[in-house]
């Protein structure tokens, strides 16, 4: 408690620098093992009561510092109360998973996510590999599939953390989020690179078609043949472009949805600071 | 005997606290701080609540459907949770009150005989 009422919270004249309610709520927030928005609601409830208790103490003639100390004494939740609240509000799954240590949880989470991903890949890979899509496709499809699988794995893992396990603490919530835009961008770049290289090859590897495409529209029979070859080339790589856009948009969409959820959790996390 | 008593006492305290909260809510809705003050003043400071212990009890009763919590906006940034008794809670309170009266009467009778 002394830590909560330390001198840094007050200026030289005893004026308040950090609201005592904020210090107490921060302390409770760090120890209360609950997901959002339940945690934010509990903290908001405590905040309003704390402020009332402090005002009552000031009205009784105590100084602000004394009032803060008295209110802190009354409102600090002990370990038993915190455990009771966690027991009341946590889901059965969360309670069950809390029985295991953090490393065991991480190991199990990774195993479940990898197994789920492998099942999806095995089930999904067969129709894709046996179908005409991949046979007509360029080798650039392979890195695209790897990036798509990585994006899917990451999205499944984040979904599990945010929606199933409801692990909403500050350190873990944003872990891995930066890889979504990177994967999405890499997938787009790879797709376009594959597309341009395929077009370059369909022009005999000389780059003529790029030049021709930019400079003039075909009018001679020779250029008409070239145009046919170009269209054929474009059609051949269209499946690569489809896969590229599918993965780019899919990863970006997963990123957007997860980011939205994280932002809402973060807003709730700081609701009681307002 | 003392082991048994130490196991019974927390249960009894919890049950007693729940009954106090339910009875404090039987007239009108109150927020947590108000509830603690009400119990303290009405019992002439015989019962005193540490607020930290109040919230788990309130949330438990709310989860059991004996009380209902509702948020009310007080000013632009302030929100407050008020609790009120549900019909089920009122019924439960009546049952508890009858139980307490019997319990107290029996204890009084027994201790009177002993003394």
Give the mean model confidence (pLDDT) for residues A44-66.
85
Nearest by CB: B33 against A52, A77, A85: A52
Quick check: A74 contacting B, CB < 8 Å?
yes
pLDDT tens digit sequence for A148-172: 988 988 898 888 888 887 877 766 7
The reply to whether residue B51 touches residue A52, judged by beta carbons under 8 angstroms, is no
A55, pLDDT greater than 80: yes
Quick check: B77 contacting A, CB < 8 Å?
yes
Position B67 scores a pLDDT of 93
Find the largest Cα–Cα distance for chain B.
Answer: 61
* Chain B nearest-CA residue for A48: B80
Position A47 scores a pLDDT of 87
Nearest by CB: A77 against B33, B52, B80: B52
* Chain B nearest-CA residue for A40: B79
> Of A73-77, A104-108, A134-138, A155-159, which range is least confident?
A134-138
Position A216 scores a pLDDT of 46
Give the mean model confidence (pLDDT) for residues A246-272.
86
Quick check: A261 contacting B, CB < 8 Å?
no
The reply to whether residue B52 touches residue A88, judged by beta carbons under 8 angstroms, is no
A interface mutation test: which of B31, B59, B70, B73 has the most A CBs within 10 A?
B59
Give the mean model confidence (pLDDT) for residues A179-192.
92
Residues from chain A that touch B13, judged by Cβ atoms under 8 A, are none
Q: Which of residues 83-102 of A touch B (CB under 8 A)?
A: 84-85, 88-89
Quick check: B73 contacting A, CB < 8 Å?
no
Residue appearing with tokens 């590897």: A205
ipTM comes to 0.82
Angstrom distance (rounded) from CA A168 to CA A269: 9
pLDDT tens digit sequence for B65-80: 999 998 888 877 778 8
Give the mean model confidence (pLDDT) for residues A201-216.
57
Nearest by CB: B51 against A41, A49, A89: A49
User: A74 near A53, Cβ under 8 Å?
Assistant: yes
Nearest by CB: A88 against B50, B59, B74: B59
Query: Can the peptide bond before residue A37 be classed as cis, meaning omega within 30 degrees of 0?
Result: yes
Angstrom distance (rounded) from CA A214 to CA A209: 8
Task: Give pLDDT tens digits along chain B (115 positions).
Answer: 555 556 677 778 888 889 999 999 988 899 888 898 899 888 888 888 787 788 999 999 999 999 999 888 887 777 889 999 999 999 999 999 998 889 888 888 888 877 6
A239, pLDDT greater than 90: no
Q: What is the dihedral of CA A49, A53, A54, A60, to 10 degrees?
A: 160
Position B60 scores a pLDDT of 93
Residues from chain B that touch A77, judged by Cβ atoms under 8 A, are 52, 55
Domains and CATH numbers, chain B: 2-114 (1.10.10.10)
pLDDT tens digit sequence for B91-100: 999 999 998 8
Nearest by CB: B51 against A41, A74, A88: A74
* Chain A nearest-CA residue for B76: A274
Position B82 scores a pLDDT of 92
Position B21 scores a pLDDT of 93
E strand map for chain B: 30-31, 67-73, 79-85
A15, pLDDT greater than 90: no
Position B83 scores a pLDDT of 94
Strands B67-73 and B79-85: antiparallel
Going by C-alpha positions, the residue among A85, A96, A99 that lies closest to residue A33 is: A85
Q: What are phi and psi of B85, to 5 degrees?
A: -80, 135
Position A186 scores a pLDDT of 94
Angstrom distance (rounded) from CA A230 to CA A201: 10
């Amino acid at each position: 408690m002394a830590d909560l009422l330390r001198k840094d919270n007050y200026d030289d004249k005893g004026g308040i620098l950090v609201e005592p309610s904020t210090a107490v709520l921060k302390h409770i927030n760090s120890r209360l093992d609950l997901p959002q928005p339940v945690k934010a609601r509990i903290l908001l409830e405590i905040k309003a009561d704390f402020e009332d208790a402090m005002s009552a103490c000031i009205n009784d003639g105590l100084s602000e510092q004394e009032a803060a100390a008295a209110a802190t004494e009354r409102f600090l939740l002990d370990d038993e109360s915190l455990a009771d609240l966690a027991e009341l509000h946590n889901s059965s799954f969360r309670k069950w998973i809390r029985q295991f240590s953090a490393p065991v949880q991480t190991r199990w989470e990774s195993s479940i996510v990898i197994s789920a991903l492998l099942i999806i890949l095995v089930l999904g890979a067969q129709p894709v590999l046996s179908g005409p899509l991949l046979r007509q496709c360029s080798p650039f499809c392979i890195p695209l599939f790897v990036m798509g699988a990585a994006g899917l794995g990451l999205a499944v893992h984040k979904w599990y953390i945010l929606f199933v396990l409801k692990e909403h603490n500050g350190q873990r919530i944003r872990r891995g989020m930066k890889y979504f835009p990177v994967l999405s961008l890499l997938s787009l770049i790879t797709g376009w690179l594959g597309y341009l290289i395929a077009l370059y090859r369909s022009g005999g590897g000389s780059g003529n078609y790029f030049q021709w495409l930019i400079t003039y529209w075909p009018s001679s029979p020779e250029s008409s043949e070239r145009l046919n070859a170009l269209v054929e080339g474009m059609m051949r790589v269209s499946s690569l472009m489809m896969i590229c856009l599918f993965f780019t948009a899919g990863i970006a969409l997963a990123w957007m949805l997860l980011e939205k959820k994280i932002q809402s959790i973060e807003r709730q996390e700081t609701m009681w600071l307002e | 005997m003392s082991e048994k008593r130490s196991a019974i006492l927390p249960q009894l305290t919890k049950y007693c606290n729940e009954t106090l909260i339910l009875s404090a809510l039987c007239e009108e809705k109150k927020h947590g701080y108000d509830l603690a003050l009400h119990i303290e003043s009405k019992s002439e400071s015989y019962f005193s609540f540490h607020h930290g212990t109040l919230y788990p009890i309130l949330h438990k009763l709310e989860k059991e459907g004996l009380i209902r919590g509702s948020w009310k906006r007080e000013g632009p940034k302030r929100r407050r949770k008020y609790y009120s008794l549900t019909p089920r809670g009122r019924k439960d309170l009546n049952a508890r009150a009858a139980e307490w009266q019997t319990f107290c009467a029996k204890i009084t009778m027994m201790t009177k005989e002993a003394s």
